[in-house]
């Protein structure tokens, strides 16, 4: 069974109605990135950051996976599939994908402010009680915070992601600008026989030497095209 690895970004979830950060009208225009997506911003105003992610969770409950999410999950019948995602939502899970690596954390989880990657402190927030409050404590007694990898923090799941990419027969990149590292560097870890497909309606800069096939469509239409013509 061939190994098929997906790398998904904001364009994947945008079709479900999730607000993106970088596009025109995106969240960065409403909130400065340093205020809500950096460890410095969290230390400066934890209440602002905690409430920002509370809002994101409420938004997430109102949306469903797009057709592209479901098409990825269905490919598990024919391929050994791994999804590496830069997204913090749980739409891949809801669509049925089984093996998912979240590079930037998970919105529906919370953790310790002191040791954010301590597995003993990571909890899943129930949908009927998913807000974090400033006085809520993690298992180690520190303030409970969103389980998100912010700018200024290490990306602990990048090593498992690299291992998946290194052994991929096919790599499919969907809806990412390839501007955010270390995720953007994953393409350079493909082996020489790996076929690489990029699904994005926009022009995306990448290394021409990698032989990338660009399917210039949105996530769902692009996935249909990929399946019909190339898989």
The pLDDT, as a whole number, for residue 75 is 98
Nearest partner of 36 among 91, 107, 115, 108, judged by Cα: 107
Question: What's the whole-number mean pLDDT along residues 179-200?
Answer: 91
The residues, any chain, with a CB within 8 Å of residue 104's CB and separated by 6 or more, are 86, 87, 88, 148, 149, 155, 183
Q: Which of 58, 102, 104, 214 is catalytic?
A: 104
CB-CB contact of 40 with 34 (8 Å): yes
Q: Which of 81-85, 142-146, 177-181 has the lowest average pLDDT?
A: 177-181
CA of residue 85 relative to chain centroid, distance? 3
The pLDDT, as a whole number, for residue 18 is 83
Query: Crossing angle of helices 219-229/67-74, nearest 10°?
Result: 30
Residue with tokens 């409970």: 144
CB-CB contact of 132 with 53 (8 Å): yes
Tell me how long the chain is: 231
What's the pTM? 0.93
Domains delineated in the chain: 1-17+65-104+155-231 (3.40.50.1220), 19-62+108-148 (3.30.1600.10)
pLDDT tens across 49-97, in order? 999 999 999 999 999 999 999 999 999 999 999 999 999 999 999 999 9
Question: What's the whole-number mean pLDDT along residues 46-50?
Answer: 94
The pLDDT, as a whole number, for residue 28 is 45
Average pLDDT of the chain to the nearest whole number: 92
Nearest partner of 50 among 33, 36, 29, 30, judged by Cα: 36
Decide if 92 is catalytic: no
Spatial distance between the Cα atoms of 39 and 151, rounded to a whole number of angstroms: 6
């Amino acid at each position: 069974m061939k190994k098929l690895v997906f790398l998904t970004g904001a364009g994947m979830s945008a079709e479900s109605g999730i607000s993106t950060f970088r596009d025109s009208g995106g969240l960065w225009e409403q909130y400065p990135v340093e205020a809500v997506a950096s460890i410095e911003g969290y230390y400066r105003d934890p209440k602002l950051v905690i409430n920002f992610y509370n809002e994101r969770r409420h938004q997430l409950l109102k949306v469903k996976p797009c057709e592209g999410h479901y098409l990825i999950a269905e490919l598990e019948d024919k391929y050994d599939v791994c999804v590496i995602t830069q997204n913090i939502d749980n739409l891949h899970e809801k669509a049925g994908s089984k093996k998912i690596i979240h590079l930037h954390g998970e919105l529906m989880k919370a953790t310790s402010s002191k040791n954010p990657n301590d597995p003993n402190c990571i909890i899943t927030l129930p949908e009927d009680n998913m807000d974090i409050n400033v006085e809520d404590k993690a298992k180690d007694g520190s303030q409970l915070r969103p389980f998100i990898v912010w700018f200024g923090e290490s990306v602990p799941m990048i090593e498992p992601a690299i291992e998946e990419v290194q052994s991929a027969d096919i790599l499919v990149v969907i809806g990412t600008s390839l501007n955010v590292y270390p995720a953007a560097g994953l393409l350079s870890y493909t082996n020489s026989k790996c076929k690489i497909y990029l699904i994005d309606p926009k022009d995306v800069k990448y290394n021409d030497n990698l032989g990338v096939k660009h399917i210039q469509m949105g996530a769902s239409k692009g996935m249909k095209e990929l399946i019909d013509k190339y898989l």
